[in-house]
Amino acid sequence: MAATVLGPIVYFIVLTGVGFFLEGILGGAASTLGYILAFLAWIWVYKHTFKTGWLGGLAIAILAVVVFVIFGLVVGAFLGMIAPSVSSGTTLMSLSRYVSLSLNI
């Protein structure tokens, strides 16, 4: 549970810190460097929390992103069925309409 909370917090801190301290020196390259360092810090949190290697941490991070995207799509589809007038015309609305029509809801 700690990795779930600490991973995004460390990612945000590193990304913000690099942007704040190195933007004046490196310019636009600071954001690219910030994303790379923040992702490595996120993997390090998983590596340290689960006591695995770098590849194991990378695999956990990729799995976490995939689960997050799937969870977001499912929640979005259900919210689209519950409150269809909130987000009409989006892809998720089309998916939720298809599901609701298929289930005869």
Asked if 50 and 3 touch (Cβ cutoff 8 Å), the reply is: yes
- Domain of 75 in residue numbering reads as 61-105
Which alpha helices (H) appear in the chain, and where do they start and end?
2-26, 29-50, 54-82, 91-102
Inside any domain, residue 56: no
| Same domain, residue pair 3 and 47 | yes
70 and 35 in a common domain: no
Question: What's this model's pTM, rounded to 2 decimal places?
Answer: 0.61
What's the angle, vertex CA 92, arms to CA 87 and CA 98, rounded to 5? 110
Clarify whether residues 69 and 31 are in a common domain. Answer: no
Statement to judge: residues 1 and 47 lie in one domain: yes
Q: Which of 33, 55, 34 is nearest to 44 (CA)?
A: 55
pLDDT tens digits, one per residue of 36-83:
999 899 899 889 888 999 999 889 888 888 888 888 888 877 877 766
**Cα(58)–Cα(8) distance, rounded to whole angstroms?**
14
* Whether residues 22 and 47 fall in one domain: yes
Residue 71 lies in a domain: yes
Q: Per the domain annotation, does 6 fall within a domain? A: yes
Q: pLDDT (tens digit, 9 = 90+) per residue, 1-32?
A: 677 788 888 889 998 998 888 888 888 788 88
